[in-house]
A and B are shown apart, each in its own frame.
Chain A
């Protein structure tokens, strides 16, 4: 019975993923008029899924209250824009630079504050996103174009193919989501991921067992931030124009909401959360001025209905080696 349900769930997931990836073809076969809109919306969902998966490493796995993820998203986007506009780098070539830029900023700001407890870390990360936004608005180092931002960012080229149409971005973004999800899945189940879980459950006990909590938390923070930087690259290429309005505290709140609502610590839940948080305000468009009111009420209702998130992670089970006497049953070699 249990096994049967598990198989069903697995096949629903595989079928769903397959259908999803075939969606552009289905839409064009059915000649759906609004398909560019749907694909753009799904690309935006994918972008936020990417951002939220990276935030999940920090918030969901390491358990650090981080509400300033948009800061690293911004750094990535501006690094890409500058390298592309000034030095003519191709977009995909800027990906590592964007990750590096965001990661370095994360490292610099995290070192002094990494030891702060829950809510104090929360306000510091809010402070960071505000400081970054103010720096962008004031054209820091002459690199950000001030309140106007930067325009004319190129489209990405993948093996000589220009990624420009909604369908191109749909695939580019969702392939990145899939790749990131696999990588983070592997990370979660590695020694590193286990250490993070331990720290999240009981930092004192973890320290007692010789886990360097600060170092692991720092690593999680930097990895998550670097990934957000790469999401910034994609955002810059998709929008072709970036300005400080896109990287506010409010955006950080959106990512935070996605992770907690979807199911902190479960990647599937985080992706589901991206669909709901990005999709609901769009679904409510016909309510016009009331659409955000409906969205706010829906958020409260969903949290009350599912306080642990819509799709919480399964409790981790580690298979222990069989006990000694099972491995070597008594009675000798008979």
Chain B
């Protein structure tokens, strides 16, 4: 081998590179729908749940003979939770001939793929990307089944006021989602003339929040608004209890996850508020109940968050559009903008406005009770 190895590698590369993506040419008459999700990397659990949900939905449709006789083929592209990988994943999904793509989770990641789908004319229905500006670019084929940060910020701030709190502290975790929500909430507080006494970030991935908690306690707020994700929220609840401090905490939809109670323990979690679209456990329509029964049989539990369910809904609206107007990206987009009437997904009624954002009030207030159950408040 010795010095000739590099040349062997070069030749191998020359042979293999053109084959990249060639393996996707299967089932020529099937309608191809893509799923771009983080199945590796820091958000792998969300992405893997999305794959599970979509596989069940695809199997259900195909078992009934497909849509108008055409089977559905799902292509999964891993975006690894990073913009760079997403740019490649989206380019690859486009070249497999998908008519529409479900995904993805992170806003910055979605952003890196938007242009690629748009230039290719592929419909994109995002599932967890709540950043406002994604739908402010005038892209005609971009939709999302999740609500926007401003919507959530408005609900969150109003709920804080409605619960009678006047001295909130705001804590976020410097991810684009949590920072966006924190900023929106702060804006609405200003309109409601509520003045926050604290505004700072924690680092995602950290485990010890005793310092921020003791800093916040020194400002003596009557409520802490935490806009980050459930793993950190759970540890904050737990450590707050260890500090012997009983301030209420209210969070956003990224904390709507069963693991929150498991990690914090029911005692520490009791009394925690959050605003969120209804979680998997609250979706009671017959279709949802049937779906979650199958999911539970297959995977031994519910999807741990609402985002995987929203990915399922993104798929369902695409399937609905294909049923009505056929597998043509342009027509699907048109149908989703104007033709989708009275459609109900797992998470409730779905329709889109002219920007591609989901219409309708979806946020509800929840409180964790003494047994650790999420109880709908209104």
A149 to B133 CA separation, bound complex (whole angstroms): 12
| B74-115 near A? 1/0 per residue, CB < 8 Å | 001110011110011001101111000000001111011001
A137 to B176 CA separation, bound complex (whole angstroms): 9
B62 within 8 A of A: no
Q: A275 — nearest CB in chain B belongs to which residue?
A: B13
**Which of B18-26, B266-274, B322-330, B343-351 faces chain A?**
B18-26
Query: Which B residues lie within 8 Å of A27 (CB)?
Result: 18
Among A1-51, those with CB < 8 Å from B are: 9, 12, 16, 19-20, 27, 32-38, 40-42, 44
Does more than half of chain B's interface fall in helix, strand or loop, or is it mixed? Answer: helix
Contact of B18 among A9, A32, A242 (CB under 8 A): A32
Contact of A148 with B16 at beta-carbon distance under 8 Å, contacts A239-B112, A245-B82, A289-B44 already known: no
Indicate if the CB atoms of A243 and B83 lie closer than 8 Å. yes
Query: Which B residues lie within 8 Å of A40 (CB)?
Result: 87-88, 91
A158 within 8 A of B: no
Indicate if the CB atoms of B91 and A166 lie closer than 8 Å. yes
Contact of A147 with B175 at beta-carbon distance under 8 Å, contacts A246-B83, A279-B13, A282-B20 already known: yes
Indicate if the CB atoms of A35 and B95 lie closer than 8 Å. yes
Indicate if the CB atoms of A36 and B84 lie closer than 8 Å. no
B179 within 8 A of A: yes
Indicate if the CB atoms of B108 and A41 lie closer than 8 Å. no
Among A279-330, those with CB < 8 Å from B are: 279, 282-283, 285-286, 288-289, 291-292, 306, 310-311
Query: Which B residues lie within 8 Å of A311 (CB)?
Result: 5-6
20 A–B contacts from the bound complex (CB under 8 Å): A9-B7, A12-B10, A20-B14, A37-B92, A41-B17, A41-B20, A146-B174, A147-B108, A147-B179, A148-B107, A148-B133, A148-B179, A149-B108, A239-B112, A246-B84, A288-B76, A289-B40, A291-B78, A310-B6, A311-B6
A20 to B17 CA separation, bound complex (whole angstroms): 11
Contact of B40 among A36, A238, A239, A291 (CB under 8 A): A291
Among A112-165, those with CB < 8 Å from B are: 137-138, 146-149, 151
B124 within 8 A of A: no
Contact of A34 with B95 at beta-carbon distance under 8 Å, contacts A239-B87, A241-B108, A245-B83 already known: yes
A261 to B131 CA separation, bound complex (whole angstroms): 39
Chain B interface (Cβ < 8 Å from any Cβ of A): 5-7, 9-10, 13-14, 16-18, 20-25, 39-40, 44, 48, 51, 76-78, 81-84, 87-88, 91-92, 94-97, 106-109, 111-112, 115, 120, 131, 133, 174-176, 179-180, 201
Contact of B21 among A34, A149, A242, A272 (CB under 8 A): A34
Give the one of B14, B23, B83, B106 with max A CB within 10 A.
B83
Q: A248 — nearest CB in chain B belongs to which residue?
A: B82
A268 within 8 A of B: yes
A101 within 8 A of B: no
Indicate if the CB atoms of B48 and A289 lie closer than 8 Å. yes
A240 within 8 A of B: yes
A311 to B13 CA separation, bound complex (whole angstroms): 15
Indicate if the CB atoms of B180 and A241 lie closer than 8 Å. no
Indicate if the CB atoms of B88 and A282 lie closer than 8 Å. yes
A269 within 8 A of B: yes
Q: B93 — nearest CB in chain A belongs to which residue?
A: A37
Indicate if the CB atoms of A241 and B111 lie closer than 8 Å. yes
Contact of A16 among B10, B82, B84, B109 (CB under 8 A): B10
Indicate if the CB atoms of A37 and B13 lie closer than 8 Å. no
Report the minimum CB–CB distance from B11 to chain A (whole Å): 8
Report the minimum CB–CB distance from B324 to chain A (whole Å): 27
Query: Which B residues lie within 8 Å of A242 (CB)?
Result: 83
Q: A309 — nearest CB in chain B belongs to which residue?
A: B6
Query: Which B residues lie within 8 Å of A241 (CB)?
Result: 83, 108, 111-112
Number of interface residues of A (CB under 8 A): 50
A239 to B91 CA separation, bound complex (whole angstroms): 12
User: Given known contacts A34-B22, A238-B87, A282-B88, what 17 new A-B pairs fall within 8 Å (CB)?
Assistant: A12-B7, A16-B10, A19-B14, A34-B24, A34-B92, A38-B21, A41-B88, A148-B180, A239-B84, A239-B87, A241-B108, A241-B112, A245-B81, A245-B82, A272-B6, A288-B76, A288-B78
Indicate if the CB atoms of A37 and B175 lie closer than 8 Å. no
Report the minimum CB–CB distance from A324 to chain B (whole Å): 35
A285 to B79 CA separation, bound complex (whole angstroms): 10
Contact of A283 with B108 at beta-carbon distance under 8 Å, contacts A37-B91, A272-B6 already known: no
Query: Which B residues lie within 8 Å of A34 (CB)?
Result: 20-22, 24, 92, 95-96
A15 to B77 CA separation, bound complex (whole angstroms): 34
Query: Which B residues lie within 8 Å of A292 (CB)?
Result: 40
Indicate if the CB atoms of B94 and A37 lie closer than 8 Å. yes
Indicate if the CB atoms of B6 and A148 lie closer than 8 Å. no
A138 to B6 CA separation, bound complex (whole angstroms): 44
Indicate if the CB atoms of B97 and A306 lie closer than 8 Å. no
A30 to B25 CA separation, bound complex (whole angstroms): 16
A166 to B111 CA separation, bound complex (whole angstroms): 18
A20 to B18 CA separation, bound complex (whole angstroms): 11
Report the minimum CB–CB distance from A214 to chain B (whole Å): 35
A9 to B82 CA separation, bound complex (whole angstroms): 38
Indicate if the CB atoms of B84 and A44 lie closer than 8 Å. yes
A41 to B14 CA separation, bound complex (whole angstroms): 14
Indicate if the CB atoms of A310 and B20 lie closer than 8 Å. no
Give the one of A27, A34, A292, A311 with max B CB within 10 A.
A34
Indicate if the CB atoms of A16 and B14 lie closer than 8 Å. yes
A147 to B228 CA separation, bound complex (whole angstroms): 13
Query: Which B residues lie within 8 Å of A151 (CB)?
Result: 111, 133
Q: Which 5 A-B pairs have the closest CB atoms?
A: A34-B21, A34-B95, A147-B176, A311-B6, A243-B108
Query: Which B residues lie within 8 Å of A37 (CB)?
Result: 20-21, 88, 91-92, 94-95
Indicate if the CB atoms of A272 and B9 lie closer than 8 Å. yes
Give the one of A20, A241, A275, A283 with max B CB within 10 A.
A241
Contact of A268 with B6 at beta-carbon distance under 8 Å, contacts A36-B95, A241-B108 already known: yes
